Amino acid sequence: MTGPSTSTLSLRGRQLIDQPAIAEYIRAHFQNAAEAWDAKARPDGYIALCIAENRGMWEVLRPQLANYRDIPARVLGYDAMTGALEFRTKLAAFMSERVLGRRVEAEQLAALAGAGAVLEVLFYALADPGDGVLVPTPSYAGFWTDLETRDGLEIVTVPCASEDDFRLTPARLDAAMAEATVPIKALLFTTPDNPMGRVYTRAQLLEVLAWAEGAGVHVVFDEVYALSVFGERPFVSAASLRERLGPWAHVIWAFSKDFGASGLRCGVLVSENPEVLAAVDALSYWSACSGDTQYLLGELVADADFIDGYIETMRARLGQAYAEVHAALAGIGVHHLPADGGFFVLCDLRPFLDEPSFAAEHRLWRRLLDEARVNLTPGAACRVAEPGFFRLCYASEPVEALREAVARVGRVLAG
């Protein structure tokens, strides 16, 4: 696309193409996916450790979902675009017990097509184009797409530093707020964390909530990895901090991570603010979750016995994959921050850069992709303030592939 005379698109349509929302490492993933590793057929194949999916659980989930395929006719029709009340009632019971740590009502939930859709719609209602949203870094890379592409917001990072293990402190929040050149309307906080796999304590969450209330901004807790915890720190939901979160705090959860079902596209907003819920409702028609999927997921979450077993197996497998990766990384001399949840470790590859710059980080990412055929998420995508950190996702591949990938990475780093 070179200019208006040769394009069939509007200006903003062209901008979408000129500045693609998809990051380079994800484009590389789709280019290489056809040559994926296979223990027998392609042992030297491409290994993706950059996509946040818990594929290992598909074999457990798929036969269970097959039980609910005789759909009732009513799910073929229009219903509430934030989710049929029947679905949200089941969701409210499930989320109250398993995720949120206290009772929420179906009317306080809005289910849309994935956490990304919830983020986009929610922030459309919370802030105007040009407003700022604080995001502590290292961070999930997708927030920039979710908040900036159509909502026109500006993410203002709260850079945390490796010297104190990337600790988010009120002082760092104050500094980011003071230096921001746009009006800050909200803070977006993720627990369990992506990309570090850190689970935040009750005291830390209270600190974040108190800071946001003191600053007079909304706070959105992204809890999409709530059930994916295996370490010593238990998950604490922001919803459980007190009896009511009040109008300024909101929680997001989804089926994409904890149920490994990112393709089904279902994310959930929990809010006690009737105005926010009404605004989200007004936008929901364009981001609705299909009636078929709602039915499927409603049946799933209502099946308490299956859910018990599923969560137990999922946590055991995640913990095992984490332990494998931790040991393999130690074997090649790579350090990472300890993780208690999520799908990731943030690896410190600073000693292996040819110079301390993001250009060198990109070169190393390329070498790992081309020579080791392993795709890691470069720290720049997660807005890590210092070059040389790489996110490794250990939930998406079998343990054998993880071992092979780390061994290959080790050979490139040693070379």
Ligand X SMILES: Cc1ncc(COP(=O)(O)O)c(C=O)c1O
Per CB under 6 A, 159 contacts ligand X: no
- Min. distance of Cβ 92 from ligand X in angstroms? 19
Is the CB of 108 or the CB of 377 nearer to ligand X? 377
Per CB under 6 A, 114 contacts ligand X: yes
Binds ligand X by CB under 6 A, chosen from 115, 126, 155, 187: 115
Part in contact with ligand X (CB under 6 A); list of ranges 109-117, 129-137, 281-289, 302-310: 109-117
CA distance 116 to 172: 26
Per CB under 6 A, 52 contacts ligand X: yes
Is the CB of 283 or the CB of 328 nearer to ligand X? 283
Is the CB of 378 or the CB of 412 nearer to ligand X? 378
Question: Angle CA(384)–CA(193)–CA(230) in degrees, nearest 5?
Answer: 135
Is the CB of 273 or the CB of 396 nearer to ligand X? 396
Part in contact with ligand X (CB under 6 A); list of ranges 110-118, 129-137, 159-167, 391-399: 110-118
Part in contact with ligand X (CB under 6 A); list of ranges 72-80, 91-99, 206-214, 254-262: 254-262
Is the CB of 262 or the CB of 328 nearer to ligand X? 262
- Min. distance of Cβ 331 from ligand X in angstroms? 28
Nearest to 16 by CA among 155, 156, 152: 152
Is the CB of 190 or the CB of 352 nearer to ligand X? 190
Question: Angle CA(363)–CA(347)–CA(133) in degrees, nearest 5?
Answer: 90
Per CB under 6 A, 267 contacts ligand X: yes
- Min. distance of Cβ 73 from ligand X in angstroms? 28
Per CB under 6 A, 137 contacts ligand X: no
Tokens of 32: 């290489």
Q: Give Rg (Cα) of the chain.
A: 21
Per CB under 6 A, 191 contacts ligand X: no
Nearest to 328 by CA among 273, 394, 407, 388: 407
Binds ligand X by CB under 6 A, chosen from 191, 237, 256, 293: 256
- Min. distance of Cβ 377 from ligand X in angstroms? 10
Per CB under 6 A, 254 contacts ligand X: yes
Binds ligand X by CB under 6 A, chosen from 137, 191, 194, 273: 194
Per CB under 6 A, 262 contacts ligand X: yes
First to last CA, the chain: 41
Please give the C-alpha separations between residue 149 and each of 82, 116, 130, 220, 288, in angstroms, as whole numbers.
22, 12, 12, 19, 19
Per CB under 6 A, 116 contacts ligand X: yes
Is the CB of 219 or the CB of 412 nearer to ligand X? 219
Q: Which residue has the tokens 């364009």?
A: 286
Whether the bond between 338 and the residue before it is cis, its omega within 30 degrees of 0, is: no
Instruction: Tell me, residue by residue from 220 to 249, as one string, x for binding to ligand X by CB under 6 A and - for no binding.
Output: --x-x-------------------------
Nearest to 316 by CA among 194, 407, 399, 202: 399
- Quickly list DSSP for 73-113: GGGGS---TT--HHHHHHHHHHHIIIIISS---GGGEEEES
Part in contact with ligand X (CB under 6 A); list of ranges 29-37, 112-120, 198-206, 294-302: 112-120
β 109-112/374-375 pair status:
unpaired
Residue 34 DSSP one-character state? G
Q: Which residue has the tokens 């002082």?
A: 171
Contact 360, 311 (CB under 8 A): no
Please give the C-alpha separations between residue 293 and each of 102, 172, 262, in angstroms, as whole numbers.
26, 41, 12
- Min. distance of Cβ 292 from ligand X in angstroms? 17
Is the CB of 49 or the CB of 412 nearer to ligand X? 49
Per CB under 6 A, 142 contacts ligand X: yes
Is the CB of 220 or the CB of 328 nearer to ligand X? 220
Binds ligand X by CB under 6 A, chosen from 37, 94, 140, 248: 140
Report helix, strand or coil for 137. strand
Residues 6+ positions from 62 with CB-CB distance below 8 Å: none
For binding to ligand X (CB under 6 A), which residues are involved? Answer: 52, 114-116, 140, 142, 190, 194, 222, 224, 254, 256, 262, 267
